[in-house]
Amino acid sequence: MLLLCLRLGSNPQSAELVNAEVVTKRETLTIGEIFSYIKQGSTKAFFECTATIDDVVHGSTWYYISCSGCHTKATKGPTSLMCSKCGKVNISGVPQYRAQISVYDNSEQAIFVLLGDVGFELTGKHHPS
């Protein structure tokens, strides 16, 4: 079993920015409960989910090139890499993990996407350089 922290939103540092005075307890949700929350149209939240890894999805991209500042996926500009979030051009690209895993609990099965340092924590291997 693996405790997965699922974050809906676009800021990888959002878990570190949670105000402890506002959040009084962290709840562990089932995959089914997370699906229900997503169906309500809410896009930003932080969940914990205890699930079992069933498989690693083969054939999917396992890393991406990110902005060295904010770790958002870099895009190719006419002559250099750019970051749409920072608005910077000519950024230094940094490889980041991107792995898809199939997980299940007692209620559902789902595909979770692991980004950044989570891949290292799971595998113990560094991303490609």
- Cβ contacts of 126 within 8 Å, gap of 6 or more: 120
- Cβ contacts of 63 within 8 Å, gap of 6 or more: 95, 96, 97, 98, 119, 127, 128
pTM as predicted = 0.62
Q: Are 112 and 4 in contact, with CB atoms under 8 Å apart?
A: yes
pLDDT truncated to tens, each residue of the chain (129 aa)?
Answer: 444 555 444 444 444 544 444 444 567 888 888 888 778 876 666 777 888 888 888 887 888 899 888 888 899 988 889 998 888 888 888 888 888 889 999 889 998 888 877 777 776 766 555
pLDDT of the residue at 42: 63
pLDDT of the residue at 82: 92
